[in-house]
Each structure stands twice: as structure tokens, then as C-alpha cells.
Amino acid sequence: MLEAGPELDAFRQSPYPALANGKVRYVGQAIAACVAPTRAQAEDLAEQVGVDCSELPAVVDAVQAMAPDSARLFDTWPDNAFIIRTIGAGDQEAMKQAPVRLRRQFRMNRQATVSLETRGCVAYWDQRLDELLVYLSTQGGHVMRLGLAQALGLPENQIRVIAPDVGGGFGGKNRLLPEEIAVCAIALKRNHPVRWIEDRREHLLASVHCRDHHYDLTISAERDGTIIGIEGDVHIDAGAYALWPTGSFMEASMAAGNLPGPYRVRGLNVNTWTVATNKAPMGPYRGVARPGACFAIERLVDELALHLGMEPYDLRKLNLVSRAEMPYTTVSGMKLDTGDYHDALDTAARMIDRPAIRKQQRERRPGELRIGVGFAIYTEQSGHGVVEWSKRKSRVVPGYEAANVRMLPDGSVNVHVGTQNHGQGHETSFAQIAAHELGIDPALVKIRYGDTATTPFGFGTFASRSIVFAGGAVATTSRKLAQKIKAIGAHLLQADPSSVEIRDGHVVAGSASVPFRDIARAANIRQELLPVGMEPTLEASGTYEPGDSAGVFSYGTHAVVVSVDEDSGVVKILDYAVAEDCGTMINPMIVDGQVQGGIAQGIGTGLFEEIPFNADGQPLATTFADYIMPCATEVPTVRIAHSVTPALVTEYGVKGVGEGGAIAPPAALANAVADAFRDCKASFNETPLTPRRVWEAAQRARREAGALT
């Protein structure tokens, strides 16, 4: 059993056995492994397994779980909290004395990660190489090898992890889970490969769950709308166990730390609870805590605007950090490095034609669908390295990435990286970077990843980090190789090395040139042509960490227009526009794809996806008949506008873009639905915004306003 979570004395450990030992803490926890030649036969064996269990009280609500009389998941704990922390900074007295104080509660319900390909593991002992060979659907093979070695008691050089094409991950495949340990342990005892492929019901029932935040917050402000501070409580439902390596600890700290968003918030005082419940463990999912934080702050801004009789757009303009204030350190200590948040808001508002929507609302006749417009502004931290991760006391500090760049005798290039592509287009963007630095056609560059035996150690792909870290490593290492190419080329041209340059696959000196294929041939197979004392081969290795390892920030504004049928509560998206800035774009088409894909998942969070539980801890959505996801007809074609404000501390000024698309949609959609019911001041503060929730919130607001009897 592996200890997981931060290396903090205050964090309570919950060792997660590969198979339940003594107590089963959630529905779906593995209790036995059945091995047979086929899956069907193994399932028949599983049907014969009997389990003698005594029923215990279930803990299913994170807030109620902290009550003194709540049942305990772990007998040695004084309560059900993995960790309790308070994040307080800034002007506390001003918040208490503020003329406007508005309290609201928000809930983001539990989801599954639902990647296209479920988890899978195949393992066997390779007698020839004397190692355990593990094929694993993972976002980071090197880190998973580290965890497997610790769990199995093997040296790392006796474990090889291969991640083939991975059909999506979104964070859920960035943790070591019990089934994977069990498969490997069984493989050590059998003289044949052992395979486990997760089916969809297993995924929904017991794989990595996510979101499940509860906020009870008060926003304080001046009467003119100037925000003073945010205070209150944040409960994170972390499920029954902390997943290796980092657990769910960062969910609460990131939620609280991101609450100020891009606004000039002077004070912050937030109590956070990371709570154990009888549910599948929480893991990272695209955005990690920031969708919840964005939902809370952006809904608070709209609720404050409604309370003050202001236009939400104007209230945002009043409080947004300006370009002239960059770099700006928020009250929670996050440094917004570069950007123009006002421009992003203005651009998104123009794209959806806000005045036209207001005119349409004024002219709406009784019986027609309600129309609403909503905005949400997100910040997306990426490229955070040693400073940020060590501050969090992370068990694994992903502070760098490595690359190996090798030119073969014919002048083609192989680049090996430690990150893992599972839909981000690394083969394209990394090849572009290497080709740019080497002055060759990207078609000559092949990107290799996903095998711990052949790639440099790396931490994998997550947290929008790959283009910053691995892209930076490819850039700096390619430049290192280019210097050797120039030196050999100058020798072959009998020119001064300082006078040559690389151009279109050649080393050029004046009117003379030598192609890379001749240089590569000399370096690899005709060493007598090299300068005296120069080592043969054309190969370079290196690591990269950004200049400021606290991270950089992408950002953007999402604007959405919806129609709402007040009789049924059905929400339909009419228009969706995004104005984003992720710094320098290596490949704009990949950026657009990341934004569009993230929004599809954000729409799932905002309108459709939820795993409810009954009082006994039974999940009530374990098939696609009950777990509803957005399909093609529910996901609009998003119009995207790009600004480019380069980062100051990364290669080329790049910033991450992987998570931003998923952060803002729930808030933008809830604000749009609330805007549609602005006349009766209905609040929509829980995701997903199902037809029932929308209808009930509207009815409740009308009753409170005296419109219904």
C-alpha cells in the first residue's frame, strides 16, 4: 500500500490497498481478483465469489461528514477530514465592515472523467530481459513506474512501462490505481501475460471521480460595485482514499487560491476541508479545482451585480486587473504575469453582440423562450515547476522535462520526450519546434514517447505543462544539436564556425553550403571527416525549466447565449464565443482544438454530467442510460478570437492551453440562465443545470417574489 498526498504532518494518510483489506469503503472497491483465459470466464468466476460483509453507516455528504456525530471512514481519525486549512490574506477588517455583504452557496456535483478509451493494463515478466513489462493506458509512464516499483518492491530498472496510443486521459489516467497494481502483482506469480481492460460501468462506478465541490461564500463590496473580499467555507468531497502520488489535497488549496480570479480582491479568508466519504476516490480532471472556483467567483460577480442593479459586464470591467498593473499578484499570492483581461472581455462581448441580446430580451413577448447572456473569465496556471510544487509539499515535484534529439545518418531526426501524448498533438507541435531550431522540414522529424526504456525521465502530460516544459526542452536541446551541426558544417566547408548559419537544411557560408545529410553522414558513419577531437554522432540531451517556476497564466473570456423553456427548464445554447490568450501559439489549429474540446467537457459539467448517490452510498448513474453526456447536437461550433501576449519566462513566450476551455463553461452557462430569469431574480448555483433544477429554481424565485401562490 502506497502513502499518497502531500508530505505534510497535517495530512492524514489513508493507505489504499489493491484489494480491500478488512473494510470496503465505497461501492465498486475491488475486493478480489479472478483470473481466467477470457474475460467472460473471469466474470463467471467473479459471480461465484461470496463476500461476508456487515453493513456500516454511509457517509455521502462532505459538509455533513464533518458533523461531530458523523460516522468515521477511518477509526483512528478524529473526524473525516484528510486535511483542514485556512487561506487568509489581505484586508480582513475591510471585509467585515463592508457596506455590501452577499452570501451564496454553490455546488458542483460529482462526475467521472469519461475518456473515450477506458483504463487498461497488460503485464508479464519478460524472462529474457528479467523485467516486468507493463502496457498501461497512462498520462505519465515514468511516474507510474516509480509507484509500481514502490508497491511491488522491485527496483525501477526491472519495470518497463509502455503507454501506446492513449485514447484520452484528462487527468484520470495520471494516478496509480489499485487494479493496475493488482494486475502487475498477479503477473509476477503467473508465467503468462495478465490483462485487465476496464469496461464502462466499472469506469463510472469506481474509476477516478472528480469535481464535487461545495462553497458557502460571502462577497463584500462597496456600494459602487468595487469588490473588497471573499470569505467563507469550501468543502471538497475527496472520496474514500487519496490516490498516489498527490491525493486530492491540491483540489481545496487550488479552489481557494483561485477564488479571486482576475479581479482586484483586497481580502480573502477561506476555510477549506478535504473530506473523506464513502465514494470512489477523487482525482484530477481537466481544470483541477478551477472550474469550481471559477463557477463560484463568476456567479458571485453576477449575483452582486443583480443585487446592486448593475450590468454584470460593467461590474467585471470595474474590478478586472488592468494590463498596466501586470504583473499582478492576487491576494492569494498568484502572479498573473502578462495579458489584457479587459480586451478579452470586450472582444467576447462584441462577438456575441451584447446590445442586440439586450434588445431581444426587452422585446420578448409572453410565451416566448427566455434568452440570456452569460460571461465567465478564467485564469489557467501552467508551467509551474519547483517553486509551486515544493510549496505544495508534493510527493513528486515535476519541476522539469527532458528531451533527446538525434540526427540519423540520412539527416532525419528522432526526438524522444518524457511527456505523453493522449490527444494534444505533440507529434505536430514538438516536430515544429525541433524543425524551427534545426532549420529543416517538420516532415523529417519524428517524436517518440511512451516507453520508459527509450525516453528520458519525465513527469508526463497534465496541468497544461507539456508545451512549456517538453516544448522548452525540445527547443533548447535542438539548439544544442544545431551548434554541433554548424561546427561540422563549417569544418566541411573550411569556413570559420562563427561565419556559418543554418538555412533550409544546409549549413551555409557565403555562397557555399553543405546539406545536413552530408553532415549527418560524417558524424555517424564517416568519422574521419570530423574535426580533430570531436566526438562522433549527432545527438544532444537536455532538460528545461521555465525562468520563473511559479508558473505563467493563460486566460480568456467565455460568452454564451442561451434560450430557456421556462415550462420545461430545458436550456439550449444559441451562441458561444471565446476570446483567449495563451501566449505565442506554436500551432493555432491545435489551440482551437484544445479550446473546442475543453468547452465540450465544460458543457458536460454545466448541463449534463452527474453521479448522484443515495443515502446508503450507492451511485445512481453507472451506465450511459443514467450518466448523461453532451453529444454532437449539444455542443456548438465555438467562435474563437486569439490575442497573443507572450510569457516573459518561457521559450517563445508560450503558455499552456489544455485546461482553459473546460474551466469557464459551467459559470458562463449558469450566468446566462440566471440572466434569462433576471426579472424574477432566480439563482442557478448548482451544476449540472438539469431541466428539473432550472425549473425548480425559477419556480422558487417566483414564489419568493410573490408571483406564485
3-state secondary structure 307-318: HHCCCHHHHHHH
Question: In angstroms, rounded to a whole number, what is the distance separating the alpha carbons of residues 124 and 120?
Answer: 14
DSSP for residue 651: G
Q: Are residues 120 and 167 in contact, defined by beta-carbon separation less than 8 angstroms?
A: no
Cell reading at 320: 478586472
Which residues, at least 6 apart from 367, have a Cβ–Cβ distance to it below 8 Å? none
Residues 86-135 pLDDT 10s: 999 999 999 999 999 999 999 999 999 999 999 999 999 999 999 999 99
Closest CA to 452 of 195, 146, 184, 122: 146
Question: In angstroms, rounded to a whole number, what is the distance separating the alpha carbons of residues 709 and 107?
Answer: 28
| Cβ burial 296-321 (10 Å sphere, 16+ → b, else e) | bbbbbbbbbbbebebebbebbbbbbb
First-to-last CA distance in the chain? 59
Cell reading at 231: 470569505
446, burial (CB in 10 Å: exposed 0-12, middle 13-18, buried 19+): middle
Amino acid at 296: A
Question: In angstroms, rounded to a whole number, what is the distance separating the alpha carbons of residues 460 and 667?
Answer: 29
DSSP output for 153-180: T--GGGEEEE--S----TTTTSSB-HHH
- Bridge partner residues of 663 (DSSP): none
Closest CA to 657 of 335, 388, 347, 380: 380
Closest CA to 549 of 469, 474, 479, 475: 469
DSSP for residue 508: E
- As a 3-state breakdown, the chain gives helix, strand, coil percent values, each rounded to 5, of 35, 25, 45
Q: Are strands 100-112 and 120-126 parallel, antiparallel or unpaired?
A: unpaired
Q: What angle do CA 374, 380, 382 make, to 5 degrees?
A: 165
Would you call 682 helix, strand, or coil by DSSP?
Answer: coil
Cell reading at 42: 473471469
136, burial (CB in 10 Å: exposed 0-12, middle 13-18, buried 19+): buried
Residue 77: phi and psi, rounded to 5, are -85, 145
Would you call 586 helix, strand, or coil by DSSP?
Answer: coil
Which residues, at least 6 apart from 494, have a Cβ–Cβ distance to it below 8 Å? none
pLDDT at 352: 98
In 439-529, which ranges are continuous DSSP H helix? 466-493, 516-524
CA 462 to the chain's CA centroid: 6
DSSP for residue 320: B
Question: In angstroms, rounded to a whole number, what is the distance separating the alpha carbons of residues 671 and 664?
Answer: 11
Q: How far is CA 298 from CA 112, 212, 349, 606, 619, in A?
A: 24, 18, 16, 13, 30
pLDDT at 709: 44
Which residues, at least 6 apart from 356, have a Cβ–Cβ distance to it below 8 Å? none
- Bridge partner residues of 268 (DSSP): 89, 230
DSSP for residue 69: T
Residue 478: phi and psi, rounded to 5, are -65, -40
pLDDT at 707: 52
Over the chain (709 residues), the average pLDDT of each successive run of 10 is: 89 94 96 96 96 95 98 97 97 97 98 97 98 98 98 98 95 97 98 97 97 98 98 98 90 96 98 98 97 98 98 98 98 96 98 97 95 98 92 93 98 98 97 98 98 98 97 98 98 97 97 98 97 97 92 97 97 98 98 98 98 98 97 96 97 97 98 97 97 97 74
Other beta carbons less than 10 A from residue 86's beta carbon:
10
Cell reading at 185: 502483482
Amino acid at 76: T
pTM to 2 decimal places = 0.97
Question: In angstroms, rounded to a whole number, what is the distance separating the alpha carbons of residues 636 and 576?
Answer: 7
Site of grid cell 505533440 = 426
DSSP for residue 619: B
Question: In angstroms, rounded to a whole number, what is the distance separating the alpha carbons of residues 160 and 168?
Answer: 21
Residues 364-386 pLDDT 10s: 999 999 999 999 999 999 999 99
567-571: long-range contacts, CB 8 A cutoff, minimum separation 24: 567/695, 568/691, 568/695, 569/690, 569/691, 569/692, 569/693, 569/694, 569/695, 569/696, 569/698, 570/691, 570/694, 571/607, 571/669, 571/673, 571/689, 571/691, 571/694
CA 572 to the chain's CA centroid: 26
pLDDT at 336: 97
DSSP for residue 245: T
Question: In angstroms, rounded to a whole number, what is the distance separating the alpha carbons of residues 292 and 6?
Answer: 21
Q: Is the peptide bond before 262 cis (omega within 30 degrees of 0)?
A: no
Question: In angstroms, rounded to a whole number, what is the distance separating the alpha carbons of residues 108 and 669?
Answer: 13
